[in-house]
Amino acid sequence: MTATTHAREALANRATLRLCTAGSVDDGKSTFVGRLLHDTKSVLADQLASVERTSADRGFEGLDLSLLVDGLRAEREQGITIDVAYRYFATDKRTFILADTPGHVQYTRNTVTGMSTSQVVVLLVDARNGVVEQTVRHLNVASLLGVKTVILAVNKIDLVDYSQDVFNQIKATFDAKTAELGIEDPHVVPISALKGDNVAQRSVETPWYTGPTVLELLESIPVTHGRADDLGFRFPIQYVLREHASDYRAYAGRVTAGSISVGDEVLAPHGRTTTVAGIDTADGEVTTANTGDSIALRLSDEIDLTRGDLLTSQARPAETREFAATIVALTEKDLRAGQAVKLRYGTALVRARIASVERILDIDSADKDTLDPEHVQLNDIAHVTIQTADELPVEPYAARGAVGNFLLVDQASGNTLAVGLVGRRLR
């Protein structure tokens, strides 16, 4: 094996960590992401040259690394990030998919979108301000979505003269809040995104901090798929494949949890059982498939299955027509109790109704929750009860969307009205 081949195999086998950045406006998220991209050498030469020119034109001393992130015209004009932007970078140890979320409170839906697929949240605060209301909001959303690892990056530590006392005060507040919310794996790092302190490189300005840099944390946190790693086999059927000439019949989809091997027994709807006769992929036949794999399953018995049906291992979720849920409103069209909608759960699309709206959560304080509200508006997070026309094998939400997530869809337009999680999250 040549050195080049060995290097290619090493790159192909690197794990991928999904992370999300969040924070208040002007806490330096864009500069932080730009710093990560720059210091991991994930910026093309022409991009870097463009940033150098623009920075000089604006009279910026050094590089304005936020320009690597805020590419939308509206964002540049306003100096803020208004949508979720996905960035990709890599080190020798692993690859990363980063979701950069908005800081404004009115973009809660975007923050939920970014965090929903992330294992780690990097939450930035300005060292001069510490933990503020928006910080608490983001921690509440992280808790809602089952995120276990949150890294608090205390940014602009250089503007408080690299004060250990300031850092310790912020850390104490953060640690108390994460303990209250049940966030299992909190970390706090003093950084200066602008100067690079403790982002990818250790800083000589903070000798009192002996912990890892942000990048060292991101490289060392074990990559998981959330509760998907603990669940049995879950396989929502996306498409039925038939070739009459060869008598080929298979069920295509993506393994959302667990694993499956040829010869394993699987459970189909209505108590039916069969075994796996074969597993096909785009690269040919395999004997085992794992979480995240796109496959076509061939079964030993001819069972009448269709798109939306769920194949599982022995622990099959119970079928139901009613369940409690937490939803986040995504559009300006209000949602009300009694409203008819379509519900997409996995690959199934069924008629449904919002049976009741019990509570709108105030993510600053439980004391300010709205009970029995008349409607759910854009960016609201609400507890509701959903009723469906057909039975569905729903189960409580698992972090990063392995199971238990759904969409509410407008029957007339087909627009997505809300994203939902099975179960009552928070409170």
Residue 181: is its pLDDT beyond 60?
yes
Q: According to the model, what pLDDT value does residue 130 have? A: 95
Q: What are the CA-CA distances from residue 135 to residues 113, 123, 171 (Å)?
A: 17, 8, 13
- Residue-averaged pLDDT of the chain: 86
> Using 50, 70 and 90 to split pLDDT, how confident is the model at 243?
confident
For the cut 90, the answer to whether the pLDDT of residue 157 exceeds it is yes
Positive or negative: CA dihedral 131, 143, 202, 23: negative
Query: Which alpha helices (DSSP H) does 40-103 contain, by range?
Result: 45-57, 73-78
pLDDT of residue 134: 86
Domain boundaries along the sequence of the chain: 3-223, 228-312, 320-422
Q: Is the pLDDT reported for residue 237 higher than 90?
A: yes
Q: What is the pLDDT of residues 284-335, one digit of tens each?
A: 999 999 988 999 999 999 888 999 999 998 788 899 999 999 999 988 899 9
Judge whether residue 31 has pLDDT over 50.
Answer: yes
In this predicted structure, which of 22-36, 44-58, 228-242, 261-275 has the lowest mean pLDDT? Answer: 44-58
Q: How far apart are CA 85 and CA 162, in angstroms?
A: 30
pTM (2 d.p.): 0.79
Whether the per-residue pLDDT at 137 is higher than 80: the answer is yes
CA distance 48 to 33: 14
Higher pLDDT, 167 or 379: 167
161 against 8, higher pLDDT: 161
Classify burial at 283, counting beta carbons within 10 Å of its beta carbon; exposed 0-12, middle 13-18, buried 19 or more: exposed
**What's the average model confidence in pLDDT over 2-25?**
69
Is residue 75 over pLDDT 50?
no
What kind of architecture, by CATH, is found in domain 320-422?
Beta Barrel (2.40)
Residue 338 in this model has a pLDDT that exceeds 60: yes
CA-nearest of 142, 218, 219 to 177 is 142
At residue 80, the pLDDT reads 40
pLDDT at 72: 40
Percent of the chain with pLDDT over 90: 54
Rounded distance between C-alpha atoms, residue 194 and residue 157, angstroms: 10
**What CATH class has 3-223?**
alpha beta
Q: What is the pLDDT of residues 375-405, one digit of tens each?
A: 999 888 999 999 999 999 999 887 666 788 8
Q: Are 237 and 311 in contact (CB under 8 A)?
A: yes
Fold category of 228-312 in CATH:
Elongation Factor Tu (Ef-tu); domain 3 (2.40.30)
In this chain, the answer to whether the domains covering 3-223 and 320-422 adopt an identical fold is no
CB 72 within 8 A of CB 102: no
